[in-house]
Amino acid sequence: MESEDAAEPPKRANQTDSRSIGSAKSIKADEADEDEVEVARMAAINKEIKRVLTEVLPKVVIAWRLLMIFLVRLQAKL
């Protein structure tokens, strides 16, 4: 019995296997999808950082200042 490889004519150097082309396209598509996911992830992180800096941090600063005022007044009474 001959193997299937022996039945196929030898490929020329410039011939490409359609499976390898499809595989390469699939890999490129996967990489593009991964890049899109990474961009979306970074955008979400940047949005959260901006929210913290613009909404949360000012409230923390105000609370800290009020606490310091309270402690100074409390110390003055002692």
DSSP state of 11: P
Rounded to two decimals, what is the model's pTM? Answer: 0.52
d(CA 46, CA 52): 10
Is 43 exposed, middle or buried, given 0-12, 13-18 or 19+ CB atoms closer than 10 A?
exposed
Under the banding of pLDDT at 50, 70 and 90, the label for residue 18 is: low
pLDDT at 67: 98
